[in-house]
Amino acid sequence: MHRLRELADRTPASRERYVDLLRALAITAVVLGHWLLSVVTYDTHGRLTGHSALESLSWAYPITWVAQVMPIFFVVGGYANAASLQAHRRQGENATDWLLGRTGRLVGPTTALLVTLAGVGLVANLAGVRWLGLSPGLVRFGVWVASIPLWFLTAYLLVVLLAPMMYRLHRRFGVRVVVVLVVLVALGDVARLLGSESMAAGNFVFGWLVIHQVGFFWRDGQLPDTPRVWIPLLVGGFGALALLTLVGPYPVSMIDVTGQYPHNASPPTLALLAAATMQLGLVLMLRRPAERWLHRPNPWLAVVAVNSVVLTIFLWHMSAVVFLVGVLDAAHVLPTPAVATASWWLWRLPWLVMLSASLALLVAIFGRLETRPRPRPTERPRGLPDGVARAVSRPAPRLVLAGSGYLAVMLGLLANNLAPNTDPYLFGMPAGGLLCYLLGAGTLRLLRSIPNRTTTGVRENADPGQA
């Protein structure tokens, strides 16, 4: 607590505290949404299974216009990445080192999650199948549920990879970049509606890039919180969303629901972009009162506390579900009331309380990986030959290795995301994908431990007033 209060007290006056609040609120909303909508039951063979309660709550679909907060997360990501890119360029660092620095906080906690899930999956398959009556398919399903957050993390990692290039395009072409991306999303939507799902795969990139690009405008001061800006965004976004869903071909729900087509979030559609526009108007409308509130000590301390472990909260919140369900099922006290019944609504309160306690335990264990200081680069890490260290410190090999490592990380995550959720795997996930991820994460970790010889010299001779 003392460290958090010290961090809160050291906050520069120029910091946009509202961005930190939005990040914390977005992740909290994702966690609560997943928990509230999680339905765990038994199939006709007595095996555990699950689905989303949203399938039975059609009246709640319009609520998702605000409750689907991943657009806010990507807008905040665009703001933060633009700010970070500006700071690194003032220090003379290149895009490769910026990317390595950005992965430092993202990849470490993610590696802990994957390794833990793989270890649990291995033990469950070797011992649980024999002694506890588990099936390999159930083990895979549990690992898949726990790794659901990796879907959005994979999309965000791709956006981060493209951020230096997209920011340069933003500085040169401005809003024209957004227009081009929106047109590409529209073309992908048309392809999907005509039955060509594969032709719309690019929307997984273009859709989130549109929203991320908006954060650049906010960072550059081109989105002031004045009524002449937020009213058109709020009203226009709402009107477009209503037309696209109530009149047009898109589902009302901004959260994917089984049986509805096309899904609005995977990949993003024009309807989701309209929802993002509406949400942006709402965010700008509330900015000034929120900033005043955040300059009070206690609210800002709470925001700092959440953000210090926000990635850990996001990564492990579905593991908390798997852990709690496993405990209650083993004790034969797992309630399975029908969705939307009075007993189901009453069960939501103790369900959320117990999940919060489970997540708090996981954050206490793994949160230190996010909060610990990052090690400073050294000229030659222990055990690494001098020749290798010198070669890796040069720009060209560094760029190739960083790109290869980053690509391996993303391919490893995709291998788990796209694999069938009930197929048996020894580790509860594809072993090839896990190995690919670990090789990529190890490469990135090695590169972060060795300074770039070019930018080190630049930083040492930079103007102290600009460093």
Per mean pLDDT, which range of 394-403, 414-423, 447-456 is the poorest?
447-456
Band of residue 426 on the pLDDT scale cut at 50, 70, 90: very high
Percent pLDDT > 70 in the chain is: 92
Mean pLDDT along residues 186-193: 95
- pLDDT digits over 356-410, tens only? 999 999 999 999 888 777 666 655 565 566 666 666 677 788 889 999 999 999 9
**More confident site: 381 or 179:** 179
pLDDT of residue 430 exceeding 80, the answer is: yes
Separation of CA 446 from chain center: 24
pLDDT of residue 444 exceeding 50, the answer is: yes
Confidence at residue 377, expressed as pLDDT on a 0 to 100 scale: 62
Mean pLDDT along residues 405-425: 94
Confidence at residue 104, expressed as pLDDT on a 0 to 100 scale: 83
Exposure string for 145-156, b = 16+ CB within 10 A, e = fewer: bbbebbbbbbbb
- pLDDT digits over 268-292, tens only? 999 999 999 999 999 999 999 999 9
Per mean pLDDT, which range of 124-133, 250-259, 319-328 is the poorest?
124-133
Report the candidate in 211, 236, 168 with the shortest Cα–Cα distance to residue 79.
Answer: 211
Tokens of 15: 């910091």
Confidence at residue 321, expressed as pLDDT on a 0 to 100 scale: 97
Confidence at residue 379, expressed as pLDDT on a 0 to 100 scale: 52
- pLDDT digits over 229-253, tens only? 999 999 999 999 999 999 999 999 9
Mean pLDDT along residues 126-132: 78
pLDDT of residue 131 exceeding 50, the answer is: yes
Confidence at residue 460, expressed as pLDDT on a 0 to 100 scale: 34
Percent pLDDT > 90 in the chain is: 72
- pLDDT digits over 9-36, tens only? 888 888 899 999 999 999 999 999 999 9
Domain regions of the chain by residue span: 14-454
